[in-house]
Amino acid sequence: MEHHDVAAFRESYMGGGLHARDLAPDPLTQFGTWFTDAVGAGLTEPNAMVLSTVDADGRPSVRTVLLKGYGPDGFRFFTNHRSRKAQAIAADPRVALLFPWHPLRRQVIVEGTAEHLPREESAAYFATRPYGSQLGAWTSENQSAVITERAELERRYVELEELWPHEVPLPDFWGGYRVMPMRVEFWQGRPDRLHDRLRYRRAAPGEEGEWAIERLSP
């Protein structure tokens, strides 16, 4: 087995600076600006985000999911409600999101609360998914459960393909979430590890405006 000196991997980040005066007044608008930059840079799946949860026993878990919408009401994604992530959210709706845009020397970290999207919004999105992905949602009905072999999934997929050759209904165990942000950090890599970290947080009573912006030590 080949061994690498992991500690020796280093890179000097030469990204431009990030200043509070240049930020939008709210984090969702600022996120939109940076997301546009990520798309324009040709990043692979710029909407890929790392979702962190904690279950009822306090055990953390993490996985990559795809952002499917964002705006003043928060960040939206869709998943199986029987999955490990969904069970954790049911126990504790506090979650964190991370957008790792490494080629741009940028990260966005979101801390907030997840809540179910209305059924009609989940149905509208499900209808836009490719036919194979719709069948896949039904095939993995018991997501995160132990299975004996992959052949189980393949057999189930064929059964569902025969059952619904054209139109696939929305599963009752599948739908969307909205993450309402409480804190959003914009991280810009800088030389000598003196990175720029600017965080929006919901303003406390007595503070002016809806969001306060703070600079964090790198």
Average pLDDT over residues 111-126: 97
Query: Can you give the pLDDT at residue 11?
Result: 64
Query: Can you give the pLDDT at residue 209?
Result: 84
In whole angstroms, give the CA distance from residue 145 to residue 157. Answer: 17
Query: Can you give the pLDDT at residue 6?
Result: 58
Whole-structure pTM over 0.85, yes or no?
Answer: yes
Q: Decide if 177 contacts 158 (C-beta within 8 A).
A: no
Q: List Cβ<8 Å contacts ≥24 apart for 196-204.
A: 196/17, 196/18, 196/19, 198/18, 198/20, 198/23, 200/26, 200/27, 200/30
pLDDT of 182-199, one tens digit each? 999 999 999 999 999 999
Amino acid at 64: T
Taking 70 as the threshold, does the pLDDT of residue 141 lie above it? yes
Contacts of 11 (CB under 8 A, 6+ apart): none
Taking 80 as the threshold, does the pLDDT of residue 211 lie above it? yes
Query: Can you give the pLDDT at residue 9?
Result: 62
Query: Can you give the pLDDT at residue 207?
Result: 82
pLDDT of 20-62, one tens digit each? 999 999 999 999 999 999 999 999 999 999 999 999 999 999 9
Taking 70 as the threshold, does the pLDDT of residue 112 lie above it? yes
Contacts of 81 (CB under 8 A, 6+ apart): 173, 174, 175
In whole angstroms, give the CA distance from residue 140 to residue 137. Answer: 5
Q: Decide if 49 contacts 112 (C-beta within 8 A).
A: no
Catalytic residue numbers read: 193
Average pLDDT over residues 108-120: 98
- As a whole number, the mean pLDDT across the chain is 94
In whole angstroms, give the CA distance from residue 77 to residue 176. Answer: 6
Going by pLDDT thresholds of 50, 70 and 90, the confidence category of residue 215 is very high
